[in-house]
Structure formats: structure tokens, C-alpha cells
Amino acid sequence: MAARRHRQNDFRDRACDVADDEIFVSDGTKCDTGNILDILGAKNKIAISDPVYPVYVDTNVMAGHTGEANEAGTYAKLVYLPCKPSNGFIPSRRKSMWDVIYLCSPNNPTGAAANRRSSRRG
């Protein structure tokens, strides 16, 4: 019922056709970010952009996917994709192997936005 009201009030008023089964109602993205790990399984190699929204790392730590933190505060079982001025703050995804990647675009906290070309795994 709530999804139907939301679709009517937020999408149809803007001439967007969205079916009831295309709306996912949850208790928030932080919980969703952690819960998706249960669906994807525990044996995945996880990649994150760096810097990144902390919940992407924290949920993997809590799920036991990272191992212990080293002295620098990074985790050996995560693949860190650097976002630096030299790459326009858009992580390169060539040459790395992983199963799951957390992409936040525009990147938090840099504000850089990936385009279609930079979003493709290469």
C-alpha cells in the first residue's frame, strides 16, 4: 500500500511509469548495504573506492569479510581502488579482480561523478 501511494505521489506526478514491484521499501541504505552481503554470500572478494563512504567498509568488517585491520587502518581482504586527483577521483577498475564493488557516484567525499565510459569494467 505504501509503495502504491509513493508511486502515485512521487513518480506519476512527474510522468514516470513505475510499477509497484519496482519499488523497494526498507529501513535505510545503511542496513541495505549490510544486508545485501547476506544475499551475495561470504566468499566474495570486495572492492571499494578510496576514500569511500565508511558504511561500505564497516558493514564488511561486521560481516567478517575483511580480516583484522593493519596499523594503517586498512584491511588485507578488501581491494582498495584509489581515488586521487591524478585519476579525477574516479577509481580505475582495470587489472583488478573482485566479485563485488561498491561504487558511490558522485563519490563521497570527493564529489567526483563517473560517466558511462569510466563506469565500465575494463
Q: What is the pLDDT of residues 4-59, one digit of tens each?
A: 565 556 777 777 777 777 777 778 788 888 888 888 888 888 999 888 888 889 99
* pLDDT exceeds cutoff 60 at 1: no
Cell digits for 90?
574516479
111 CA to centre of own chain: 15
> What confidence tens digit (pLDDT) does each residue in 91-109 have?
876 666 888 888 777 776 7
Three-class DSSP category at 49: strand
Calpha distance 6→104 (Å, rounded): 25
Calpha distance 57→66 (Å, rounded): 8
Calpha distance 108→69 (Å, rounded): 22
* Residue 33 phi, psi (nearest 5): -60, -40
Q: DSSP strand E in the chain: where?
A: 46-50, 78-82, 100-102
